[in-house]
Amino acid sequence: MTVTDPHAPALRLEGVRKVYPMADGEVVALERADLTVDRGEIVALVGPSGSGKTTLCSIAGGILRASGGTIVVGGDDISGYSPKQLTAFRRRAVGFVFQTVNLVPFLTARENLLVVDEIGARTGAPARARADQLLEELGLADRAKNLPSQLSGGQRQRVAIGRALMNDPTLVLFDEPTSALDSKLGRQVMELIRSEMTARGIAAIVVTHDERITAFADRTVHISDGVLDA
């Protein structure tokens, strides 16, 4: 379908717009956004509620289709992708760490990582090996068989990060990864994100409204009323 260019930036947005039609006209959620994220770069996307940061993040991750503009992820131009192509793209190229509902409650830590394989390629043994390796690297080897309810908040976020890395993505999107954690744990999780992403050369966008998080990013981008100020 598309050949991923190993030298292309992780994410390139050019003139991306998102408008929602309403009964009385339209609402502009994102106005001509231009943003490039290099491989291995960590970008903090900061803005108040309703500023459009979620919309931008969703478009970059292929969850939402833009109303206009170009979106290229790792050399893949996904701007014209159909919903079906976008689903396959998300399975292949992006990792997500969500804010609240994140892990499947009735699956163990290891199985939560394997979900990615289960809904996609179903490679079996290689996927199991990768899950074990990721759990080991994230310091969760002894928690592999625990259900989410048996894990601490920080451990759950680490499992979520592990799941986001399962498909060896070009880009990982973090949606308020520390909002449910206290500040000490939040810092630890951000340190973990930073070290894991940097070590693997994977780009990350961390959506937050917490300015303290920006210290862990290579670059901070602010957004308000759908407009990026780079």
| Residues found near other proteins in the complex (CB under 8 A) | 53-55, 57-58, 61, 63-64, 84, 87-92, 95-96, 98-107, 111, 115-116, 118-120, 147-149, 156, 163, 167, 173, 175-176, 179-180, 207
Instruction: Give me the least distance between CB of 39 and other proteins, in Å please.
Output: 21
User: In this structure, what token pair is assigned to residue 116?
Assistant: 């990615």
Instruction: Give me the least distance between CB of 62 and other proteins, in Å please.
Output: 9
H helix runs in the chain, sequence order: 53-60, 83-93, 109-118, 125-137, 153-165, 183-200
Q: Of 114 and 191, which has the nearer Cβ to other proteins?
A: 114
Q: Of 152 and 195, which has the nearer Cβ to other proteins?
A: 152
Q: Of 102 and 178, which has the nearer Cβ to other proteins?
A: 102
CB under 8 Å, gap of 24 or more: what pairs does 25-30 form?
28/226, 29/55, 29/226, 30/55, 30/56, 30/59, 30/66, 30/226
Q: Of 41 and 175, which has the nearer Cβ to other proteins?
A: 175
Instruction: Give me the least distance between CB of 9 and other proteins, in Å please.
Output: 22
Under 8 Å between Cβ of 206 and 47: no
Which residue(s) pair with 204 in the sheet? 42, 172
Instruction: Give me the least distance between CB of 191 and other proteins, in Å please.
Output: 23
3-state secondary structure of 211: helix
Q: Of 7 and 165, which has the nearer Cβ to other proteins?
A: 165
First CA to last CA across the chain, in angstroms? Answer: 32
Instruction: Give me the least distance between CB of 111 and other proteins, in Å please.
Output: 7
